Structure 1
């Protein structure tokens, strides 16, 4: 409770920057609120907030993280597993199958549509261990409090990955960790905990921008957190990063807004499209891409019209993809376009 009071007090501090000088993600952030609105927070206030929050977080707060396993034997009824032999042995976990960790963002929980869509997509492709992460602090009404909890939640995911690898034979070479929004940064901290480049792949679905800095890769998802990191950026500059986060960075419709989302004042529709696109990419492999010289070209849709051989979200991207890609999309399902 003390953490919330401190965070609320700093959030309430008056901003000194005039609106025309505010650059989201550069000299401050527009921080989302529970009612869908945004409040501007300057860089120095945010740094103080995060420092105070992190200092108090380790002393007085809980950061519960739970894991639910889905397989073809239990595709809709997740079995909670813990880092204990009796728990894993009593589940349908199979070390000979590839493993996918799926991590929700702010306000989410493991039963959300995001998780069921991605779980269903992977299980439709074959035998997988799909482990859906539930991190309770994501459900704080205060976004900043959830941000403060990201490193600890990511560390617990990383510890679970290490446990399954060391004690139950889970391969890191076929492991993919998928996180949406704040969950993308939880994925990054999981990768940092496991060790640089040891997780095979991390897919960041519109990694959250508010209160994360591009120039501080050690405090966000970065391209070093796995052998291969892919980012699918759909609400860049608002709820998500616009600058490339992954080794392979994909910009559907230029990465800022998505067709079919209307005005989308809060950005939530475009932000959520990253999940829909990824789930479709897993099952259909139908998102053609156009290679760009840099991310600015992708954002401005100035990458030409020649499709590359790369498909957004493809498993084999880990071995062949680096750079920025523009992704043409439809306004409704099926969203993917191929030449």
Structure 2
């Protein structure tokens, strides 16, 4: 028996709450299993819990066949299916209530939480993987019943987490790719690495497929599996997550479950994370993919629910990779600047650029230290520099070029100009400064000036 412990999220019990009328209602809750049930094994049973604006805090279990007897289900509205992944401890996901609330804020819709915990809660991961096919068959039948009652397949959006992403893909494949959208949050990697498109989530499973990767070197799946694949921090290790096994369960689950928390933050519109289409994470960090020319007049793609501005372009471009970096904690968003410099110095120097932005007594610092930059006569350099804080207004900029020279004389470096372009805030002014003389390893401070339109 192959064990995959510690992938599940921490459990919680959701109490029934009063309905809009103020009268206590009998709510149907997500299945909560004991650990011994996971150890002994359970028989797959798929429950569908319906949430609408009329019962936002009180899920109602759906009858899979008699949809006309479900007064809360409005088939003329869009429907979002939320599908969890592997649950080795049998506990409900901690994020279910949160995603239901946030989805309901996007537009008037039906939210159906797919509770297949009795198929996903098993210490034998192979059993949970095998159950995805049967659960997908069950969901397919339900959606066909919806269609027979007047629902449009194009109005269906399936959001699958980990193993749930592949389950959503199987449903989409059963329906010949005619459902509107599948969102995969760090699709599961174990047992799916090297699988054919028919054996995992892929772009043909829906009219539009978007995928977020956060743990490709462990529980997540590497590669491209959607019309657009977002790679947070390259899709591997996430900032703030433990780096050693001594941190306990968090070491195993933190990177993987970050996909859910990033998506929740995006739904809440507090993150507003911009992603940059690029061939590789390395090229993105080196500032080679900051223009998003293919998406104009729209902006670069943004992680989240509303993809209408970019959908047609993405479908035309084919499979697209998009990269972004985050901070370790909410709201995760970094503040990105494109920095363009032209140097003119007598001696060839190599170094990294360290910038500080000052607003009053506060400052934020960032270092472009991925590679050494060549400074010589008339050298043009473009960098991506990202700050953890968004300070406004910027009253002063500090610049240091660190060369590592601690013994010999300090050489002077002349900047003909430096320009900082805010990437995600096009309404903010560009910041420039002209003809600066600085010494290597010594910080120089200056007030930004309006940029010359000729540059």
TM-score relative to the length of structure 2: 0.58
Match of 1:98 in 2: 78
Please, what is the CA RMSD of the aligned residues?
A: 2.3
Alignment partners' CA distance in 2, 1:221 and 1:211: 13
Measure the CA separation in 1 of the matches of 2:286 and 2:137.
39
Segments of 4+ in structure 1 off by > 4 A?
108-111, 300-303
SS at 1:191 equivalent: helix
Q: Who is 1:16 aligned against?
A: none
Aligned to 2:261: 276
CA distance in 2 between partners of 1:151 and 1:90 (Å)? 26
Match of 2:4 in 1: 33
Structure with the higher strand share, 1 or 2: 2
* 1:217 Cα offset (Å): 1.3
Task: Say how many residue pairs are matched.
Answer: 281
Residue among 275, 289, 292 paired with 2:275: 289
Provide Cα deviations, 1:280-313, integer angstroms capped at 9, x if missing partner.
222317010111125x657x84563626421123
Of residues 253, 273, 288, the one that matches 1:304 is 288
How far did residue 207 of structure 1 move?
Answer: 0.2
1:76-127 C-alpha deviation (Å, 9 max, x unpaired): 2111102223x55334111222110000011177952232221111112231
The answer on 1:67 being equivalent to 2:20 is no
Give the 3 Å change call, closer, same or farther, for CA 110–336 of structure 1 in structure 2: farther
> How many Å separate the matches in 2 of 1:252 and 1:307?
19
Is 2:210 aligned against 1:230? yes
1:107 to 87, 95, 110: 87
Structure 2 residue aligned with 1:163: 145
CA contact under 8 A between 1:79 and 1:91: conserved in structure 2?
no
1:205 deviation in Å? 0.3
Indicate the SS of the match to 1:76: coil
Structure 1 residues 307 and 331: CA distance shift in structure 2, 3 A:
farther
Alpha carbons of 1:199 and 1:121: their partners in 2 closer, same or farther (altered >3 Å)?
same
Which of 1 and 2 has higher RCO (CA within 8 Å, sep 6+)?
1
Distance 2:81 2:228 in 1: 19
List aligned pairs for 1:158-197, cutoff 5 A. Answer: 158-167=140-149, 169-195=150-176, 197=177
**1:137 is matched with which residue: 110, 116, 119?**
119
Partner of 2:313: 320
| Cα distance change on mapping 1:277 and 1:190 into 2, 3 Å | same
Per the alignment, residue 198 of structure 1 pairs with 178
Contact 2:6 2:252 in 1 (8 A): no
Q: Which moved more, 1:316-325 or 1:106-115?
A: 106-115
Say yes or no: does 1:239 pair with 2:219: yes
Note the alpha carbon deviations across 1:217-255, whole angstroms, 9 max, x for none: 111111111011111000012100121121210001110
2:182–2:210 Cα contact (<8 Å) kept: yes
Conserved in 2, the CA contact under 8 Å of 1:286 and 1:337? no
The 1:330/1:234 distance shift into structure 2, 3 A limit, reads: same
Name whichever structure is richer in helix by fraction: 1
Q: Which runs of 5+ in 2 are unaligned?
A: 8-41, 246-250, 293-299, 336-423, 425-455
Q: TM-score, normalised on structure 1?
A: 0.76
Q: 1:333 — aligned with what?
A: 330
- SS state at 2:193 partner: coil
Aligned-partner SS, 2:113? strand
Q: Does 1:267 align with 2:264?
A: no
Q: What pairs up with 1:6-25 in 2 under 5 angstroms?
A: 8=1, 11=2
**Displacement of 1:329:** 1.5
Distance 1:261 1:170, change over 3 A: same
Matched, 1:153 2:153: no
Residues 1:121 and 2:133 are matched in the alignment:
no
Q: Which structure 1 segments of 5+ residues have no match?
A: 1-7, 12-31, 37-60
CA distance in 2, matches of 1:232, 1:152: 25
